[in-house]
Structure 1
């Protein structure tokens, strides 16, 4: 399957034709983001034109002030022209403030648009994308790259337009005064323009490398500074080793920064030196012409002033190619993410699953389901992935022709050895992935044909690791139902057998649970996750070994909460407790991605197959002795 980001990756190739094609395509996309700001951009361009005209008029005033005022001894004209120059300076200052006001509104608006576009697109990506993506690299795209892309609309645009107009006005005035000296000044123009291409390519490459290194450093901090990573580092890590690893990454960033600064400095110093040589030449030749009576002193002074206004913008315009190429690197990295096509997406004509559930009940069916986990090229970008992810692409099908059905309100237990495909089945029912072949249906509707909102409302999941955001208990629960009242929260917490504990907390439901809920025990997190599920009130419940790693006391409390959660709901349970398996209306036994047995507990024991073996080795020893 061709990957939507492959075309963007070719930017790193050396072909100038490819670079040119990509640059043009990216520029068109840049302009599409600017479309909502057409009016403000027009005002911005008008202000730039007025500012350039005001700046170009100033040396003309000085020319007349010297030739017609000072040389002629006309005090009135001197005062008038000096006052005019002061007024032009004030006008330029006012125009500069106005330009900044407009450009900041446009630039900050574009940052908002880009960030929300990337965030919205990323959150719609399938689970496979996040399982491969480095979080630090993704955050870098959302922050650093977006800010870099924004430069194309503000400082770069201002540089191009303002300096372009300044060059035009300046050359017109210079040609009117002395075409000979103007021609001399223009001889050096190619020396300002030609180096820009080479320096631009070098700096663009360094910019891309810098983004990658920043992403790696950010990923390391993200992994080490979240509570789970910090705990692992405390148990197994070595502070000196961690510091050395981070230090190596930031040293590479330092070295790159030094190289980048030197390249930029050589470029800037070379252009500044050329400008100084040109100004000295004009002063010399112009002075000789003034002594010979061919030019006035005022013209020589005005011409040298114009040279400063010519070479300064030329230097800036030469840097524009550098700025544009580095800005395009940022923009292309943002567009790489926006161009990723979610492998799990909603059809335009998708139906509401809740309507089918209300009519036919929430029965679940897997019909000839075959599934292979997607490869890297199908779900992500090489620049966002870890090396480990790239080396672990799937080589075969995880599920093969799996078929079974669960009537509405019934419970099916999935059992089998590790790696049999139990969790994969549960993820297909909640549409974390789509099957490679076959269909997954709820209420007779193929999940690929229903809206994602209605599917989320219909299916609830409690996994082995209950995740909580760094927020209050109330906000973690309302994540499932934002309009829930305090009374709704209390009812869900009571049903989840955790209200008594929450009530004893100093801040009650407003208690902050910490990063990933680590201020709570595993059993408490699981019961909060069940409360969140109850608050959502789904028709189908998926339990992925929700009590697998709990102590006996917590397991009893969580199991009681689960019993409450499953009443009247269709449930798909990956279980390790025999009591849960016994209560199931149907047991589906998986091995190596295939259904090898189906039936009730007694039926499967009598069949003396894999289930009977699992019962003897796994379930029976774990079953607690009956109470006296």
Structure 2
């Protein structure tokens, strides 16, 4: 949905939402979230039932006070009965406190499980999902949507159990007092339930639309208020434009917020009206029954009104909960929609694992073809490359030739659609994720650094690395002297996405991070592109030393960096058109020679 699109009420969004909800949400699936905590939930329900049973005694004590203690002037009985009311109030308060603490812990545990489950599932999805989805939208589902569900599984579930037990117990007590007045009191219940359900249905689809727009707003904030976004806005003079864009999105959210709270308000006020006039009608009926053959006493009538009040506020709570449950179904729809995204990259059931010492580093690419989703042509077609252990291979070609895509396949960020990629003779799809991570080290053209210290960024690759190992890796990457000269040294915070460092410094940090893992295969995707000539030469020497007995695959645009590769693979429109050494390809006078002449 575009940030610039106005939100109009029409049937199409509602129809789309209803289809999504029917596909992803069911009562069984929601109840499954509570299943691991059923023992704790049973304990809470037991407390609620006990508390409700205790509360049932109050109207009967009140009737005894009005019909017996007060008319007879029996102060001793009055003292006992009043003391009973006080005791019931104290016990109820203690039970309510304990029950709230227990139910809140259960609710937070369920939310924690759901957040972790969603985060873990998203981690397992292929790059195609993240390429098509804004990160702000993903954050919105984890934070905003699950945060909205927090009310349901803590407060709402707690209130549902408490109000339901009170309604049941109070209804039983009312029939014990006088079945005629009790039956009259129940007449209003079906009508209020029907009206409440109507309001819930209206607000449910609005809530889904509202969360979509909140996701839009989160994405706008993340894009425009990141360091890159601020630099772009300032240098392009587009700050006011971005503010207007955010204003429109915020206005949409505000309008939907109003609609979500006011839709069906007339129906809801009708419910309040029915429940408000019920005591007056009960008194009128009670007055009539006083003159019948089975009269109603004043104490019974007062106790019935007290029970009615005790019934009405939890009944109102249940009706409100029904409305809230309908609206939170929209949040469950958005969360479960992500959880139902298919995991395309899966670890084999009997995945192969072996230690670093057993790894040689041989890579075989056999007849590999691949197309991106919705692409009208293959990105790679029938690619076959044999890379002996310890050798160096360079992948070159013009933009769009498929070099980076082949790198993605080598790292198993996507799975090949035909053919195979093998490490040391084992299909990449049969390797465990940990073994593949130990086998292959990747340094990309745009390295990503965490908002943490330099040392923490390096140890992300090897958490148990010693300070000596950090320094050794940094020296190989030609970054140690610079880090040592910083006031905080390796404890320096790199800033958001490493913006406290230059592009070349970030690339060297990323290289040091990969070196620390000591993988037998290095994949360098233009890893020295941001380095000056002097540092690049030093890096080439360092990489030459590092690459001894190590397989190196270099994706390069600057051909000067790969002249000494054992084999150069030239790609064009997803196919291998040339292969050989630098001298062989230059003498051939083909595509590679043309790239050299063009200054690549």
Give TM-score scaled by structure 1 length: 0.89
| Structure 1 SS opposite 2:598 | helix
Give, in angstroms, the shift of residue 555 of structure 1. 3.3
1:570 Cα offset (Å) = 0.5
CA distance in 1, matches of 2:44, 2:520: 56
**SS of equivalent to 1:154:** helix
555-564 or 309-318: bigger deviation: 555-564
- The alpha carbon displacement at 1:265 in A equals 4.5
Hey, what does 2:364 align to over in structure 1? Answer: 365
What's the C-alpha RMSD, in Å, of the aligned pairs? 2.3
- Asked if 1:340 corresponds to 2:337, the answer is no
Q: Which residue of 1 aligns with 2:211?
A: 211
Deviations for 1:262-304, whole angstroms, at most 9, x for unmatched residues?
Answer: 2365454322211111111112222344477922111111111
Return the offset for 1:510.
0.2
SS at match of 2:442: strand
C-alpha distance in 2 between matches for 1:176 and 1:317: 23
Q: Per-residue deviation at 1:14?
A: 8.0
Which of 597, 604, 610 is equivalent to 2:585? 604
Tell me if structure 2 keeps the 8 A contact 1:11–1:22: no
Counting only pairs closer than 5 Å after superposition, residues 105-254 of structure 1 correspond to structure 2 as: 105-254=105-254
| Aligned residue among 492, 514, 517 for 1:533 | 514
Which shifted more, 189-198 or 307-316?
307-316
Per mean C-alpha deviation after superposition, the further-off stretch among 138-147 and 288-297 is 288-297
- CA distance in 2: counterparts of 1:316 and 1:19, whole angstroms: 28
Q: What residue in structure 2 maps to residue 431 of structure 1?
A: 412
- SS of equivalent residue, structure 1 residue 197: helix
Alignment correspondent of 1:329:
330
Q: Tell me what 1:454 maps to.
A: 435
C-alpha contact (below 8 Å) 1:353/1:445 kept by paired residues: no
User: Match of 1:491, SS?
Assistant: helix
Measured in 1, the distance between the counterparts of 2:536 and 2:338 equals 42
- Deviation of the 1:553 alpha carbon: 4.1
Q: Is the 8 A contact 2:407 2:523 kept in 1?
A: yes
Q: Secondary structure at the match of 1:476?
A: helix
Find the counterpart in structure 2 of residue 80 from structure 1.
Answer: 80
**Of 106-115 and 322-331, the range deviating more from structure 2:** 322-331
Q: Distance in 2 between matches of 1:394 and 1:67?
A: 84
CA drift of 1:595 comes to 0.4
Higher mean C-alpha deviation, range 174-183 or range 554-563: 554-563
Comparing 68-77 and 148-157, the one that deviates more:
148-157
> Deviation string for 1:206-253 (max 9, x for gaps)?
211121111111111111222122211221242221111111111111
CA distance, structure 2, for counterparts of residue 497 and residue 14 of structure 1: 55
Query: In the alignment, what sits opposite 2:378?
Result: 397
Alpha carbons of structure 1 residues 517 and 558: separation in structure 2 relative to 1, 3 Å: farther
How far has the Cα of 1:568 moved from its partner? 2.4
Give the aligned partner of residue 391 of structure 2. Answer: 410
Deviation, 1:362, is 1.1
Q: Distance in 2 between matches of 1:193 and 1:578?
A: 74
User: Per-residue CA shift, 1:194-216, capped at 9, x if unaligned?
Assistant: 11221111111121112111111
Q: Secondary structure at the match of 1:369?
A: strand
Partner residue, 1:389:
none
Match of 1:566 in 2: 547
- Within 5 A, what are the aligned runs for 1:249-260? 249-260=249-260
| Rounded Cα–Cα distance in structure 1 between residues aligned with 2:289 and 2:322 | 37
1:172/1:394 Cα in 2 relative to 1: closer, same or farther (>3 Å)? same
Distance 2:474 2:183 in 1: 84
Show structure 1 runs of 5+ residues with no match.
Answer: 1-9, 376-392, 620-628
- For residues 167 and 513 of structure 1, what CA distance do their matches in structure 2 show? 58
* Stretch of structure 1 that moved more, 578-587 or 562-571: 562-571
Q: 2:21 touches 2:330 (CA, 8 Å); kept in 1? A: no
**Deviation digits for residues 37-75 of structure 1 (CA, Å, limit 9, x no counterpart):** 122111100111012112222111111110111122221
The CA distance in 2 between the partners of 1:227 and 1:68, in whole Å, is 77
Equivalent pair of 1:44/1:102 in contact (CA under 8 Å): yes
Question: How far, CA to CA, are the matches of 1:233 and 1:426 in structure 2?
Answer: 33
1:11 is displaced (CA, Å) by 11
Larger mean CA deviation between 454-463 and 344-353 belongs to: 344-353
Conservation of the 8 A alpha-carbon contact between 2:507 and 2:530: no
- The separation in 1 between residues aligned to 2:147 and 2:271, in whole angstroms, is 28
- 1:354 shift after superposition: 4.5
Q: Is the 8 A contact 1:290 1:300 kept in 2?
A: no
For residue 298 of structure 2, what is the aligned residue in structure 1?
297
Aligned-partner SS, 2:368: strand
Taking the aligned partners of 1:470 and 1:368, their CA distance within structure 2 comes to 41
The separation in 2 between residues aligned to 1:427 and 1:587, in whole angstroms, is: 18
Report the equivalent of 1:317: 318
Q: Which runs of 5+ in 2 are unaligned?
A: 1-11
Q: What is the rounded CA distance, in whole Å, between the counterparts of 2:224 and 2:136 in structure 1?
A: 11
Offset at 1:449? 0.7
Quote the residue 2:9 is aligned against: none
1:521-546 CA deviation, whole Å, 9 max, x = no partner?
A: 11111111111111111111111112
Instruction: Work out whether residues 199 and 268 of structure 2, in 8 Å CA contact, stay in contact via their aligned partners in 1.
Output: no
5 Å-filtered alignment, 1:440-519, equals 440-519=421-500
**CA separation of 1:15/1:440 partners in 2, compared to 1, >3 Å: closer, same or farther?**
closer
Structure 1: how far apart are the matches of 2:398 and 2:433? 32
Q: Which residue of 1 aligns with 2:8?
A: none
Q: Within the alignment, does 1:352 sit opposite 2:353 as a pair?
A: yes
Mapped to 2, the partners of 1:458 and 1:574 lie a distance apart of: 18
Deviates more, 1:559-568 or 1:26-35: 559-568
The CA distance in 2 between the partners of 1:231 and 1:323, in whole Å, is 42
> 2-side partners of 1:346 and 1:618: how far apart?
43
Distance 1:253 1:213 in 2: 6
1:272 aligns with 2:272: yes
Q: What's the TM-score once normalised by structure 2's chain length? A: 0.93
Matching residue of 1:384 = none
User: Comparing 567-576 with 407-416, which one deviates more in the overlay?
Assistant: 567-576
